[in-house]
Amino acid sequence: MYEKLDKALADAYRQASEGKGKDRHAGGKPFDRQPIMEIGRMVGPGFGLGQAMKKSQEAARMIDRGNHMHARQELLGAINYLASVVILIDEQNENPPF
pLDDT in tens, 12-60: 999 999 866 666 667 788 999 999 999 999 999 999 999 999 999 999 9
* Burial class of residue 75, CB neighbours in 10 A (0-12, 13-18, 19+): buried
Report whether pLDDT(94) > 80.
no
Within-domain flag for 60:
yes
What is the pLDDT confidence band of residue 4, given thresholds at 50, 70 and 90?
Answer: very high
Within-domain flag for 29:
yes
Within-domain flag for 32:
yes
Can you give the residue range of the structural domain that contains 75?
Answer: 3-92
Q: What's the number of domains the chain is made of? A: 1
Within-domain flag for 75:
yes
Within-domain flag for 98:
no
